């Protein structure tokens, strides 16, 4: 499930919301109830990155073609 970070455009309150569907609309601000908070960078992609801090040599055949940056022991 994707978790999105939002910042309220009305009161600047930041909160995260776990979406059950990708098409789910943005939730209202829990502080002031304003609709359409601004979406920030998703923690979902950040947590994916954090859970995969390195790649295996199989995924990373050479130091010059590592698709993940300098994240594997081959560099």
Among 10, 26, 27, 36, binds Zn ion (CB under 5 A): 10
Contact, 46 vs 2, CB < 8 A? no
From the list 17, 26, 31, 43, which residue makes contact with Zn ion (rule: CB under 5 A)? 31
Tell which one of 14, 18, 34, 59 touches Zn ion (CB under 5 A): 34
The answer to whether 36 touches 26, Cβ cutoff 8 Å, is yes
- Cβ atoms of 63 and 75 within 8 Å: the answer is yes
For the CB of residue 69, give the shortest distance to Zn ion in the complex, in Å: 36
13 binds Zn ion (CB under 5 A): yes
């Amino acid at each position: 499930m994707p978790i999105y970070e939002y910042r309220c455009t009305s009161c600047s309150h930041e909160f995260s919301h776990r979406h059950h569907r990708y098409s789910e609309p943005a939730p209202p601000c829990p502080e002031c109830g304003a609709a359409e908070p601004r979406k920030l960078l998703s923690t979902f992609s950040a947590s994916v990155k954090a859970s995969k801090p390195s790649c295996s040599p199989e995924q990373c055949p050479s130091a010059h073609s590592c698709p993940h940056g300098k994240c594997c022991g081959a560099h």
